Structure formats: C-alpha cells, structure tokens
A and B are shown apart, each in its own frame.
Chain A
Amino acid sequence: MLDKLHSLKDAIAAHVPDGSSVVLGAVLEPDIPFAATHEIIRQGIKGLNVIAPISDASTDMLVGAGSVDEVTGAWVGNVSGGLGHNYRRAFENRETPAIKLNDNSNFSIGMALMAGAYGMPFAPMRSILGSDITKSNPNFQITKNPFSEDEEPVVLVPPLAPDVAILCVQRADSQGNNHHWGNRGVAQEAALAAEKVILLADEIVQSDVIASDPCRVLVPGYLVTAVCHVPAAVHPSPQVGCWKRDNDFFGEYHSRSRTPEGFKAWLDEWVFGVPDHSGYREKLSLRLNDLRITGSAMAAPTNYAAD
C-alpha cells in the first residue's frame, strides 16, 4: 500500500502552490486546520482563493499575511471577538478592496460544494432569495423553476471544485483512511469536491482501527492525497474528544490584530517565530495541557459481524 504520510511542511509545499483554491475551515467553528494556515503563511504562499463558510480567525490571518486574492465565504471574523481586523482593513478606506469577496450564505457554500462533489452542473436553491448576496456576488443566477406552474423564482448556484481541501480528523492510518466524529459542517462535500485532500490527523493508528468502524470514515483513503500527523492542529479551535476551545487565544489575537503593527508582531511571535507546528506546541506548552480533553464519554460498541 502507498504510504501517504508526509510532514505538514512537505504536504503544503507539494500540494498548495500559489493561486490555489483551498478549503480551510470546513467544519465551521471546530476542527479548523490552523496548523496548515500557519504553514501556508510561513511558506509565503500567495494568491489563494480561500473557501470556507465560517473559518473563525483563520481567514483573517491569511488575509493579513497577504496570502489571499479571493475569499469565497459566508462569514469572516473572529467568533470570540466579532470583527476580523485584517479582513476589514482589506475593504475599508480604499479605492478598491485588496481582495475579491465572493459573497455567500452558509447554505449556498454547502450547495456549491455539494454540486462540485456530485458532479452537478449547478445546484438549485431558494434560501438566498431576497438577499443582496445575489447582487454583490454575480455568480448566482435567479431563474424560474421550470417544473412550477407559478412564477416561482429559484437561485442557481455554480459548483465549486476546489484544488485542495485541508481537513482535520481525530485519527488516520498512513494511507489516509480516517475517523472523524463531531459535527461535520461541509467537510464531506469539500473532500468529495476537491481535486486533492490533505488530512491533518491528531493521531496515526493502525489500519485495522479505522477498518473496524467504516461508518465513522469522513472519506476513504483512496480520496486522500496526503496525511500529516499534527497533534493539536486545530488549536485554538476545538476538536471533539481531543481539544477544548482556547477562547483566550482568540481574544488575544483579536486585540493584537487591531493594528497592522500589532498583527505583524503576533505573526512574528506565533508563526514566523517557530520553525513548525511542533515548535508552536512547545511554545504553547502547559497551556496545551489545560486544553487537552481528558474525560471519557465512550460511544457504545457497534457490531459489524457478517455472520
């Protein structure tokens, strides 16, 4: 079997070239691959189209670091602090915005990735009717439902097929077979729609562990391009069964990114000041111990016996 285990540094360098469209933060508030966000910034990758319904502060960091040309999203900010300062600065007090925003709602991102995942030419939906999202984002088309006798409007959403989806899972084997549990946001649609999938696994396990419970698999290993062993890759976001949310970290980021200088100092400390994610974990040190989930709430065993 092909071993797909790589360092995060190598996986990002190999599969996220300048100008890529990248899903980063598909599960909304939890499971955000901040380790990958930081590595992208550290490698100076530019011109990305970042795709995510809600990515908490991840997109704001990438925008501030100059990695982003386009954002395809529904919400960009800081869930603890409210506004995303770098994101605001990209739009406010300028002749033209520094980045292009493809406005969406959460559901329209879900529909676009679903259309991409299932090879549909477009997805019909109704739930952004009446919203100016269909005006500020000209990619949507409003037409009439051809199956309705009334004049029923319907929104056509073009499919999204990202170059790469970067996703966090609790555990994976070296071939990229994996278990993910907790809410899934648009992670499954993103993985099925993307050309490549990079997995950040909190733990690497033997293949029989994954094979013992195929219902918990996000997408099978044959769809995964690279798997990286990165404990606490989600920090400061939470991950079910592994990590609590580091709310203070989001708050500190919010206040320090209020000015461009403050943001630069934050980047120098937390991204450029460490060689890689293991250096970041060392820097977090005891703080990470407090965030580790140590309790036990095991699911009931599940019998898959064939006879």
Chain B
Amino acid sequence: MADYSIQELMIISAAREIADGELVFVGMRLPITAYGVARLTHAPNAVGLFECGIARYAPAEDMLYTMGDPPNQLNAAWLSGLVPVMSQLQRGRVDAGFIGGAEVDRYGNINTSYIGDFTRPDVKLPGSGGAADIAAMSKRLLVIMNHEKKRLVEKVAYVTSPGYLSGGDSRARAGLKGGPSALITDRGILRPYGPDNEMHLASIHEGNTIEEIRENTGWNLKIQPKMIETPPPSPEEMAALHKIDKDGFWR
C-alpha cells in the first residue's frame, strides 16, 4: 500500500474537485480539510461559505469542532447571518457544495432524515441541516461517504437532499439545475453518466477491484467507459495536507 491513508486520498480527491476562484459551500471535517488543501495547491483564490453565516478566504488556523467555533470567526471574510449566506445558493452563485449522508442511491439522492417509513421510522437521523439547500442549489454537488452496501442503496427511503431524483430529466422537471458531480467514497469515485444521470464508477482507488466495489454497492453498479485509477496524491498535495493536518488526524 502506498504512503498515504485512504482518508488522505479521499481528502485530496475532494480537493481536486474545487477549481481556482470558485465559491464553495464547505462542510466540517473532511470537506473543510479538502478546501484547505485546494487553497494551498491549485485553488488559492477559492472562497468558502458556512451556513451559520460565515465566509472565509484562508481556512481557520486552529482546530475546529464546529463551523461556528471562534477560530473560524477570527479574520473571516464576512460574519453575517444564515439567510445572507445561504441565499447565495439560491441566487446561483455557489459553484460547488459538499455534503455527506447516511444513504445515497443510484441517482445521487441523499437521505439524512429517516430510515423506514417517515411516519413510523426505524431510525430517526438528525435531518437536513443545510444539506437539502446545498444539494438543490449548488452548481455541482460533491458527496462524501463510506462505501458500504447499506449506504449505497438502490433507492433511498427518503430524499432529504435531491440528486437526479428518478433519473433522466426528473431533476430539471422539479425546477432544479446542477446535481451531483461526484460521489467520493473510500473505494472510488462515482459520477453521473449518460442521459439517465445514473451514478457510474468513474475512478477506482488503489487496492480495490471493480468486483469488490460492485459487491459493496447496493445497486447494479455500471462502469464508465473511461474509468481511471485515482491518481495517487502528489508530493505537493501531501505537503499541503500535512501542513493543515498537523496532528495527523487523517493519517
């Protein structure tokens, strides 16, 4: 195995999804680290937004447990409210947004609300937070999740955050643009492919086989014709990550 952890490869894969100058809705933990790596490497002019009402250029210097912690407020680009910041999604300004979830399906719909019937759920999950808004209104949605058969399911029980809904043009018919552009897992990267917008395996992380990945996916996962092996982290990317992850949390 190479000289990096799978979490580090996921972070760097996520960082590569951010282009320079983009406005990015950043989530906690892995996404905020990915944003930091992107800023230090290929995207020095990216801007990060946080739903609690914060805009930042450089990521916070100190450890954050939540996006509202004091280090994320110190020297922010803007401290404002939820409505002024989240309205930039609806205004169509936000290039990319990160979310995670408990379940994702073949059309990239995400569930973080209920497992089972919502009137009598088997499991009650915390809910949307800002995820539904980010999924609906970002130009590109980036989803990060561990690759397990119970998480990557044929059809989610409840669509908290819309992907391509029932595929094809159903998202557009619901009045939405954008949609998921990447589902980054610990085994590979899935992307929508073809007119049906079904999530296909587009990139495979080192150490996995297509067979293993298909076995760990809850639908009949198809492979993009131009599937690649995920490029390993470059020395520059690893240096940027280690600069941010001083304590080696992700190693």
Residues on A lying within 8 angstroms of B by beta carbon are 27-31, 53-54, 56, 73-77, 79-80, 82-84, 87-88, 90-92, 94-97, 103-111, 114, 125-133, 135-136, 152-154, 181-189, 237-238, 240-241, 244-245, 247, 293, 297
Contact = CB atoms under 8 A, between A and B. Distances in A.
Interface in B3-54: 50-54
A133 B128 contact: yes
A109 B129 CA distance: 10
B234 to A, nearest CB: 33
B136 A92 contact: no
Interface residues of B, number: 52
B128 A184 contact: no
Contacts of B161: 131
Contacts of A181: 79
B245 interface: no
Summarize B's interface: helix, strand, loop or mixed.
loop
List the 8 closest A-B pairs by CB distance, nearest first: A130-B162, A77-B126, A29-B68, A183-B53, A29-B66, A91-B124, A75-B129, A30-B68
Contacts of A114: 83
Contact of A96 (B120, B130, B165): B120
Contact of A53 (B65, B129, B136): B129
Contact of B137 (A28, A79, A126): A126
Contacts of B90: 107, 125-127
Contacts of B124: 87-88, 90-92
A130 B82 contact: no
Contacts, number: 196
B66 A107 contact: no
B203 interface: no
Given A96-B120, A107-B130, A184 B162 contact: no
A138 B244 CA distance: 44
B133 A130 contact: no
